[in-house]
Amino acid sequence: MEEIRKILLEEKEKIGQEFKSRQINQFNVERDVGDEVDNSVVEQERELNLLLQDREKQHLEAIEEALQRIETGEYGFCDECGDQIDQKRLMVMPLAQLCITCQQNEERLGNISSFSRLPQQSSAMRDD
């Protein structure tokens, strides 16, 4: 578990550095604004940065949750069936909360995407 803990802490540090860098860049771009076209580009970049920050925040929360589960001894067990998640899977996907069998079952049923435990939006909820 120590190796996985190290991976999670490194990922947490990397995300923190990216977040700080993005904030510095955003501050510099906002100071250099020129005409309306520039304003439009800055606004699009600002929106993208907000989306990325939200994603980073969710990723950091998942890392914190995994680190907490390591501390309490709950890490590495499938949320669905309770079986131990294979060590190889955890090394590749340290945030995995399902064993491979349960993950495949959930994907087959269409309950979650292959990249996330978040439920898929129904077609009625999408903005398509």
**Of 74, 90, 106, which closes a domain?**
74
Give mean pLDDT in consecutive 10-residue pieces for the chain, a chain of 128 residues. Answer: 93 89 68 64 82 89 95 94 95 94 91 49 40
Q: C-alpha angle 88/91/93, rounded to 5°?
A: 105
- By residue range, what is the domain housing residue 2? 1-74
- Domain count for the chain: 2
Q: Which residues contact 92 (CB under 8 A, 6 or more apart)?
A: none
Same domain membership, residue 122 and residue 110? yes
Same domain membership, residue 63 and residue 23? yes
Integer angstrom CA distances of residue 15 from 62, 67, 80, 118: 12, 15, 28, 21
Same domain membership, residue 124 and residue 83? yes
Residue 40's pLDDT is what? 77
Same domain membership, residue 96 and residue 56? no
Dihedral sign computed on CA atoms, order 9, 15, 18, 22? negative
Residue 43's pLDDT is what? 81
Same domain membership, residue 62 and residue 80? no
Same domain membership, residue 88 and residue 59? no
Tokens of 71: 């501390």
3-state SS, one letter per residue, for 49-78: HHHHHHHHHHHHHHHHHHHHHHHHCCCCEC
3-state secondary structure of 4: helix
3-state secondary structure of 84: strand
**Of 57, 74, 91, which closes a domain?**
74
Residue 112's pLDDT is what? 62
Same domain membership, residue 98 and residue 81? yes
Same domain membership, residue 92 and residue 65? no
3-state secondary structure of 117: coil
Same domain membership, residue 84 and residue 55? no
Q: Find residue 77's DSSP bridge partners.
A: 84
Same domain membership, residue 85 and residue 70? no
Same domain membership, residue 80 and residue 69? no
